[in-house]
Structure 1
Amino acid sequence: MSWTLPRLVMAALRGGAGKTTLSLGVAAAWRKQGRNVVPFKKGPDYIDAAWLSLAAGRPCHNLDTFLQERDRVRVSFFQNALEGEISLIEGNRGLYDGADAQGSHSTAELAKLLRAPVVLVIDAEKITRTAAALVLGCQKLDPEVDLRGVILNRVARLRQEEILRNAIETSCRLPILGAMPRMEDFLFPERHLGLLPPQEHAW
């Protein structure tokens, strides 16, 4: 196994923070740059995987330590990652949310299994400096999780972004890698299972 393969985990504090939308944006941007992106989705979710396949232009692979042995998940990742230039792994739920209080089968555990750096998506709606406390908590809860940066989502205005940047970069020593504005008219349609599948989306 090659631990030098470029890879990145997209995580969040909770579900519904915009992790999937931003993962799609990152995959599409890398693809536009001419990079051969291999997408992965944590867990058995087939809808997010379908969207990631569309954004990356190649099949998305699911990684699930609950349904498969850890070694098998690791082998599956590296076998598929070798087919591309860079791998993007979208987590699910919150970074440390798993099957129990210890976070078994969480996105954090998958990131450690794959020795992959993590970018944390923060839903910035109605929050400023408290976001730094949440990020700091993620850093302190398990220092073995390789948190590398933060992407702010649903930022209301420039002043809020400036406060968030200053608070997080000062308190957490993590860079703000990007900030997405709140866009009320740009919403992926959802239902009880999450996003609508691409084939049901009204293009």
Structure 2
Amino acid sequence: MNSKPAVYSRVVIAGERSGCGKTTVSLAIMNALSRKGVRVQGFKTGPDYLDTSHYEARTGTKGRNIDLWMTSPRHCLEIFLRNAADAQISVIEGVMGLYDGSRPDNKASTAHTAKFLSAPVILILTCDGGAQTTAATALGLKMFDEEVNIAGFVLNGATSKESAEVIASVVTGKTAIPYLGFMPLDDRIALTSRHLGLSHAFEEPPHADKLSSEVEIASKSLDLERIEKIAISAPPLFPPDCGDPLYPFVPEPQSVRLAVARDKAFSFYYEDALEILSLCGCEIAPFSPLSEERLPAGADAVFIGGGFPELYCGELEGNVPMRDDLRNFAFGGGTVYAECGGMMYLGAGLTDLNGRRFDMCGALEADFEMRPRLQAIGYREVIAATDAGFFRVGDREKGHEFHYSTLSDGHAGDFFNITTSAGGASRGGMAFRNTVASYIHLNFLSSGIIKRIPARLKAVAEDGI
């Protein structure tokens, strides 16, 4: 990339806390601006597959992630600039509360991301408290770090325009933060959630009526013109230097076929990672463990990401031909990589919350059980302890862990040496021949390993090494 500054209109949507309506407001803004003919690119702060899945239906472009813990600042900037290049406005949805990030330093928080991208912030405040307390919350967030440019606020969950204006007048009077409108309580735009967060758009594509309602409500209740002006006010950004870019300057010929499980049960992938794999020599071949009986013809390797296999246990168990084909591929030395839900599918069986056990692929000697409470959450850094699949001993990568299941025998494996963002150490991950699986969703953008994966897959496929 060259060193000349470039103008990228952008705005960060931040929340006072988790569950305050960041996604509701972000989607409404993306949708309403897109309907006006504005080219919008959606980004999500942090490790998230669910929120980003809903961006495409509103903008026509795949949602992307910006994560300053898992990815270096230079590469985060490369990801942003590449994906924002064709957009007129980029909307960056935050994570948790404005200042909440990784432990112990809150790296990769919404505030950290906003300052890194020199992006103005629109603060989402809820209407479930009194006006004075809401104003005190906004004032505290503004004063906590005055380098964060809070350029406006939106009230979410208002019962009426009049009640929102009462709260807004107090907030503006105490903080001088401009009021940009409100989002009402309205079942027509409610988002469906479950234990891992929002329902994935792959499972529940937004109905046309919901999309139309979002536009109608946002156009009436939000000051979209002012929001556009705030995004346009963002200063120019300087592209990173040309050294070691994530994306290759010249695409490599596609010489290895990577089968990627993509359906309602398995949908957790970082779009940038898949795109880089494609540019570096992988032909991405999507397939469905739910509805197809065989792996894609000529597959050299298989990638099964996370998702919701626990919701489709019966269908996965019932598709015996696919389970047999995948198990035989793994037992024959084919490269298989699986994360979280994908690992559960590779196991011998999965027991749901009702105590019913379902047969899975049997490629791993492990049984999994769903639990009613969250079992693990947080950032992780892993180091491969030995060679297997496309991993080589010493390979280092970052990711995150978030799951409700456990292994029935409690032994999570020892393929990876794992360190948490807070410094805790453990072992985890299973390996059998060229099959590697763990609970950790790897980002694959924190090191140069992603550009070496296609060549490694080809070597395993050709030579069995």
Contact map agreement 2:46 2:65 (CA 8 A) in 1: yes
2:203 aligned residue (191, 200, 203)? 200
The structure-2 alpha-carbon separation of the partners of 1:126 and 1:182, relative to structure 1 and needing over 3 Å to count, comes to farther
Contact map agreement 1:17 1:121 (CA 8 A) in 2: yes
1:77 aligned residue (73, 76, 80)? 80
Aligned pairs for 1:1-203 within 5 A:
2=5, 4-100=7-103, 102-184=105-187, 186-201=189-204, 203=207
Amino acid at match of 1:137: G
The structure-2 alpha-carbon separation of the partners of 1:169 and 1:66, relative to structure 1 and needing over 3 Å to count, comes to same
Contact map agreement 2:21 2:156 (CA 8 A) in 1: yes
The structural deviation recorded for 1:29 is 0.6
Contact map agreement 2:17 2:97 (CA 8 A) in 1: yes
- 3-state SS, counterpart of residue 168 of structure 2: helix
Deviations 1:39-76 (A, max 9, x none): 11111211100101211111111111111111210121
The structure-2 alpha-carbon separation of the partners of 1:64 and 1:154, relative to structure 1 and needing over 3 Å to count, comes to same
Amino acid at match of 2:194: R
- 3-state SS, counterpart of residue 129 of structure 1: helix
Contact map agreement 1:10 1:118 (CA 8 A) in 2: yes
Cα distance between partner residues in 1 of 2:5 and 2:29: 23
The structural deviation recorded for 1:183 is 2.4
The structural deviation recorded for 1:3 is 5.3
Of 147-156 and 3-12, more deviation after overlay is shown by 3-12
The structure-2 alpha-carbon separation of the partners of 1:58 and 1:129, relative to structure 1 and needing over 3 Å to count, comes to same
The structural deviation recorded for 1:139 is 0.9
Contact map agreement 1:11 1:91 (CA 8 A) in 2: yes
Amino acid at match of 2:28: G
Instruction: Count matched residues.
Output: 203
- 3-state SS, counterpart of residue 131 of structure 2: coil
When Rg is computed on C-alpha atoms for both structures, the one with the higher figure is 2
The structural deviation recorded for 1:156 is 2.3
The structural deviation recorded for 1:100 is 3.0
Amino acid at match of 1:164: I
Cα distance between partner residues in 2 of 1:35 and 1:186: 21
Gaps of 5+ in 2: 208-465
The structure-2 alpha-carbon separation of the partners of 1:158 and 1:123, relative to structure 1 and needing over 3 Å to count, comes to same
Amino acid at match of 1:195: L
Contact map agreement 2:44 2:66 (CA 8 A) in 1: yes
Contact map agreement 1:3 1:115 (CA 8 A) in 2: no
Deviations 1:62-114 (A, max 9, x none): 11111111121012111211121111100110000011354222000000000
The structure-2 alpha-carbon separation of the partners of 1:81 and 1:98, relative to structure 1 and needing over 3 Å to count, comes to same
Contact map agreement 1:28 1:56 (CA 8 A) in 2: yes
Amino acid at match of 1:153: N
Contact map agreement 2:131 2:171 (CA 8 A) in 1: no
Contact map agreement 1:98 1:105 (CA 8 A) in 2: yes
Amino acid at match of 2:31: A
Contact map agreement 2:154 2:182 (CA 8 A) in 1: yes
Amino acid at match of 1:177: L
The equivalent residue for 2:407 is none
- 3-state SS, counterpart of residue 16 of structure 1: coil
Contact map agreement 1:125 1:156 (CA 8 A) in 2: no
Structure 1 residue runs of 4+, over 6 Å off? none
After TM superposition, the score normalised by the length of structure 2 is: 0.42
Q: Which structure is higher in helix share? A: 1
The structural deviation recorded for 1:33 is 0.7
Gaps of 5+ in 1: none
Larger RCO: 1 or 2 (CA < 8 Å, sep 6+):
1
Cα distance between partner residues in 1 of 2:84 and 2:189: 31
Of 101-110 and 50-59, more deviation after overlay is shown by 101-110
- 3-state SS, counterpart of residue 50 of structure 2: helix
After TM superposition, the score normalised by the length of structure 1 is: 0.94
Of 112-121 and 167-176, more deviation after overlay is shown by 167-176
